[in-house]
Structure 1
Amino acid sequence: MVQAVHRAIHVLRELATATPRLGVTELADRIGVAKPTAHALLRTLEAEGLVVQDRESGKYQLGPGLVTLGNAYLDSHELRTRAATWADRLATQADAAVWTGILMDGHVLVVHHAFRPGGAMQVLETGASLPWNACALGKAVAAFLPAERRTALLTGELPRVTGSSLDDPAELQAQLDRVRETGYAVDENELTLGDAGIAAPVFDRTGEVVGGLGLVGPIERLLAENARQEHAISVREVARSLSRDLGAPRNAGLRACD
């Protein structure tokens, strides 16, 4: 591991969680280095556009260069590229928003967001990071991970976003077992009060789970008695079609979590 690179990444991660900015001394304390070292790291990152300094306070925040890097990552991500058409189709079919996400360090990164059809005001969620345990996307992916990785998630941090978020490993494990049986996951009031999600796993050509795709919207629309099963079937079928588009074998879901 190259120490300077590791420290630079640590700086960026600290700034990503800071509200709203951090000074040199604060950053030095957080990453465990001397103030001159922190200052040198910040100056280098600033020269590359990865951080910017507020001229009034002298504190630092993330810079616009990260947007370029993030967009390049999303544009080159095969799951996102392949998911666009399928997500738009599902959004039209279900009259709801569709998110496609991947699991990263205990969080789901939304790599594509297909808006609900219609003219209602909607906020683009591409790039959002969501606790895996609080959303259907995260549970859909986690259920089909190898046992060792699944255990690591369940024994790791389980944030409570709302009062309905699950932070009990045993209860989550039971949910993941049901997801493996049904092929889809559900969240209700767990990520956002009043909203629900229905998601299914997506597999690649190796048969491994690489992400999830699902509907997001008001509980009364997604989980109504006459709509829930229909939505679940649609999500599962579209996720399977996307998996086949990625070259997944037909038995991918059966062998992925052995």
Structure 2
Amino acid sequence: MTNDVIGRRQRVLKNAGGIAVKAAKTYPTQYLQTVSRAVTVLRAFKGGSRDMSLKELTEELKLNKVTTFRLARTLAYEGLLVQDPASDRYSLSFGCLALVDAMLNRDGLAEISRKHLRVAREETGETATILVREGWDRVVIATEASLQPVRYVMEVGRRNRVYLSGSGACLVSGMTEEERESLFEFIETDPIARKYSLTKDVLLGRLEHIKENGWGTAQGEWAEEASGVAAPVYDREGEVIAAIAIAMPRSRYNKSYRHKCAPAALKAAKLIGEEYDSINR
């Protein structure tokens, strides 16, 4: 994990950390030892400022390797930890934001995006969302739900594979060639990819569409009846730091409607990127 990625994650999640990890202790009978240990695991990452191998985590917690492994795997399954597919190191997941949404760092990406997501929602009438990449997943960090009776909503903390949907393709478009090749290898063996008939060629086609048009689109991959358009959020270095998605029911998904929603996603992505850069100089 690069220092830039760690720094970004620290800025977004700093309210969750800063608590020292204590040595093994005796638990009062009214407390559940497993729950206390799980919280200690999360605190070990100091609010997202560090990533750790299983060995490092075991030594820090002073637990046996099997117990630490089970705790880490369970927390990853619940979306609170994420394991880097390349290094196998663990770090806090943006899924933690679902637990601390009201306490988010006020100058972070999620907070910056909200007013622009509201404008996009007003312009399109649909749900506007910002997502970030974590390993081979993407996670919703802020959303403004459509006010229409029939709508599609993506909750904060919701995660799915990064190669699914237009927003996922936008995030993949920011990967290095080496990262993409690793992702393509992962797709070949991932059962979720088989479920959605997602192949390397399908994803390459979506990346080409983004390259030509500046935005991506897909349908039926967040949920069977969900569709949408998405645009990458760039920082001043031209790196993709997030994706803006305009999500809608498939019943409203047609060419003219897509071309109405795409400019709203592009505008929101541009403004969010500019504001993010102005704050994080």
TM-score (normalised: structure 1): 0.67
CA contact (8 A) 1:213 1:239 kept: yes
CA contact (8 A) 1:166 1:172 kept: no
Which of 174, 178, 184 is the equivalent residue of 2:215? 184
- Aligned CA RMSD, in angstroms, stands at 3.0
5+ long unaligned stretches in structure 1:
19-65, 249-258
1:143 is aligned to 2:173: yes
Change (3 A) 1:12 1:72: farther
Give the share of equivalent positions with the same residue, in percent. Answer: 17
CA contact (8 A) 1:162 1:189 kept: no
Amino acid at match of 1:181: E
Query: How many Å apart are 1:179 and its aligned residue?
Result: 1.2
SS at match of 1:167: coil
Q: Structure 1 CA distance, aligned partners of 2:240 and 2:127?
A: 22
5+ long unaligned stretches in structure 2:
1-52, 79-94
Q: Indicate the residue corresponding to 1:235 in structure 2.
A: 265
Q: Indicate the residue corresponding to 2:230 in structure 1.
A: 199
Q: Indicate the residue corresponding to 2:77 in structure 1.
A: 17
Query: How many Å apart are 1:150 and its aligned residue?
Result: 2.1
Worse-matched range after superposition: 179-188 or 67-76: 67-76
- How many pairs align? 199
Amino acid at match of 1:229: H
TM-score (normalised: structure 2): 0.62
Worse-matched range after superposition: 117-126 or 151-160: 117-126
Change (3 A) 1:171 1:85: same
In the TM superposition, 1:31-110 aligns within 5 A as 70-71=99-100, 75-76=104-105, 78-110=108-140
Which of 192, 195, 204 is the equivalent residue of 1:160? 192
Amino acid at match of 1:71: V
Change (3 A) 1:159 1:110: farther
Map Cα deviations across residues 9-31 of structure 1 (whole Å, 9 max, x no partner).
7513325538xxxxxxxxxxxxx
CA contact (8 A) 1:74 1:80 kept: no
Query: How many Å apart are 1:102 and its aligned residue?
Result: 0.3
Change (3 A) 1:162 1:144: same
CA contact (8 A) 2:97 2:141 kept: no
Amino acid at match of 1:188: Q
Change (3 A) 1:129 1:95: same
